[in-house]
């Protein structure tokens, strides 16, 4: 359900046209508190349904979203300006993750017996994962259904109720999602959407009734959310963007590498947390790769029509950052082989490819979040990895190479939560894999088994099956019994191990 208030409202705008898409309530702290209280009741009901019934409900939610795929994509298209087909693809990805979470929750989180060890052989040891209760999800505007679904679906599958605060730039996506869930689960508001500005998110993060916050956004905002969560020691999983690199080896398929790197850099107008912002190319392949990349980039055109490659910059304030990064790169000796400073034509930014940009420039060090890319020449794969890791971010990465073992080793060395080889961001569609970063890219994981566990608490239970001949945790313990256990431990664990 979507939560309304009698207080102020705000408008969501189409960033391409400036037209008003819809008007939404600016939910105040009282409205958020009421939503959380309803969610607490809903969480108890949802938990009591059990694994089988929740699975059925979630699969039916998936079906409802699939039947309304084009409707959801149109809302995304209007609120973000991204091409309709990209909005459809994003919704498909959300559906895939919802399906996986529904089908695998019991297997990952259900009770299971673990071996207690010889010292506790008389105990039956059980591990299970219990819901947290209410999960607050604060979503982004760049992928307004796919990204929050990585938290919403997994939190619901783990047995929690969810209060979702979508970005103020894309509130309609959250409202529609809550409407679809209401249609499948009318008994209790297991998913509520609270629309509003920054204060609404702050109220959700500081609510004492929330068991965990899942946040996606900038590192700067994440610190504010964490401070609000600290009031109640509320745990948080945070995904905070990145400055991701693509590495191109000497023997890579250069056509495929150029195509993937360009998509990774320019799709969604570069407004992708796992997007390619830096490319490090082996010296032997540099000239050929750059030629292929620039030829492809020159053909791209932003716009709001069906033929446009990508849409506008959704958040107006980002345009100044993009322009600053381009100018800084050029001022420090970089060359624009495609586009340049005049490529920023509000609300659009035409493709920009920069070369010879110093490693200390803002275009290399800071997240640009626009359709710009820097291309760097390196002598070998080791130098590429070393330079790729010269950042405080650590979200994702891409490697193109014709040598499987060399690519795998480089992927392991990249300081990132995810790395794809010979494709861009292929891990995002693999629902079984965890998604998240290190450093300023955040912490915690969504997606996969780790994502399910992120929204549950492990519960350990032991049950005495039979009494041992001696009870060491008793004041009746004797010296003889202690000597016996010390002898047994010495026999079991004092062995010297040799290489």
Question: Which residues form the catalytic set?
Answer: 239, 273
Give the span between the Cα atoms of 81 and 15, in whole angstroms: 6
Rounded-to-integer distance, Cα 97 and Cα 95, Å? 5
Q: 3-state SS of the chain: helix, strand, coil percent to 5?
A: 45, 20, 35
Q: How do strand 212-216 and strand 20-25 relate by DSSP bridges?
A: unpaired
Distance separating alpha carbons of residues 241 and 436, to the nearest angstrom? 9
CB 345 within 8 A of CB 302: no
Phi, psi of 139 (to 5 degrees): -100, 165
Alpha carbons within 13 A on the beta-carbon side of 346: 9
The rounded distance, in Å, linking the Cα atoms of 178 and 378 is 49
**Which residues have a Cβ under 8 Å from the Cβ of 47 and sit 6 or more positions away?**
131, 159, 160
SS (H, E, C) 100-111: HHHHHHHHHHCC
Using the 8-state DSSP alphabet, how is residue 476 labeled?
T
């Amino acid at each position: 359900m979507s939560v309304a208030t009698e207080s102020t409202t705000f408008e969501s705008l189409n960033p391409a046209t400036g037209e008003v898409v819809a008007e939404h309530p600016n939910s105040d702290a009282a409205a958020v508190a009421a939503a959380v209280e309803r969610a607490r009741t809903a969480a108890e009901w949802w938990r009591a349904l059990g694994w089988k019934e929740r699975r059925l409900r979630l699969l039916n939610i998936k079906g409802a979203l699939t039947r309304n795929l084009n409707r959801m994509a149109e809302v995304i298209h209007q609120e973000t300006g991204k091409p309709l087909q990209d909005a459809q693809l994003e919704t498909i990805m959300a559906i895939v993750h919802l399906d996986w979470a529904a089908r695998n929750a019991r297997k990952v989180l259900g009770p299971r017996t673990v071996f207690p060890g010889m010292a506790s052989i008389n105990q039956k040891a059980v591990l299970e994962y219990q819901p947290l209760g209410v999960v607050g999800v604060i979503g982004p505007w760049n992928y307004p259904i796919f990204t929050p679904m990585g938290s919403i679906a997994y939190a619901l599958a783990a047995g929690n109720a969810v209060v979702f605060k979508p970005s103020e730039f894309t509130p309609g996506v959250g409202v529609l999602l809550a409407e679809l869930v209401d249609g499948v689960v009318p008994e209790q508001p297991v998913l509520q959407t609270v629309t509003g500005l920054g204060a609404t998110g702050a109220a959700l993060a500081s609510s004492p009734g929330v068991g965990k916050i899942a946040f996606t956004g900038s590192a700067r905002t994440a610190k504010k959310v964490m401070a609000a969560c600290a009031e109640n020691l509320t745990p948080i999983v945070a995904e905070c963007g990145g400055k991701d690199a693509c590495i191109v080896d000497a023997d890579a398929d250069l056509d495929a590498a150029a195509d993937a790197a360009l998509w990774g850099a320019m799709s969604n107008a570069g407004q992708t947390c796992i997007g390619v912002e830096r490319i490090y190319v082996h010296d032997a392949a540099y000239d050929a790769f750059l030629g292929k990349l620039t030829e492809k980039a020159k053909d791209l055109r932003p716009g709001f029509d069906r033929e446009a490659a990508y849409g506008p910059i959704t958040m107006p304030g980002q345009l100044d950052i993009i322009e600053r990064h381009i100018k800084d790169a050029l001022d420090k000796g970089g060359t624009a082989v495609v586009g340049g400073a005049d490529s920023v034509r509000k609300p659009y930014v035409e493709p920009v490819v920069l070369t010879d940009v110093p490693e200390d420039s803002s275009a290399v060090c800071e997240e640009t979040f626009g359709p710009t890319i820097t291309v760097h020449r390196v002598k070998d794969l080791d130098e590429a990895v070393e330079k790729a890791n010269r950042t405080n971010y650590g979200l994702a990465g891409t490697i193109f190479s014709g040598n499987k073992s060399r690519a795998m080793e480089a992927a392991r060395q990249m300081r990132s939560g995810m790395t794809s080889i010979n494709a861009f961001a292929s891990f995002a569609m693999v629902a079984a894999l965890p998604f998240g970063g290190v450093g300023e890219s955040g912490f915690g994981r969504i997606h996969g088994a780790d994502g399910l566990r992120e929204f549950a608490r492990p519960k350990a239970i032991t049950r005495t099956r039979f009494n041992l001949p001696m009870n060491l945790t008793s004041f009746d313990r004797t010296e003889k019994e202690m000597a016996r256990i010390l002898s047994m431990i010495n026999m079991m664990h004092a062995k010297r191990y040799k290489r």
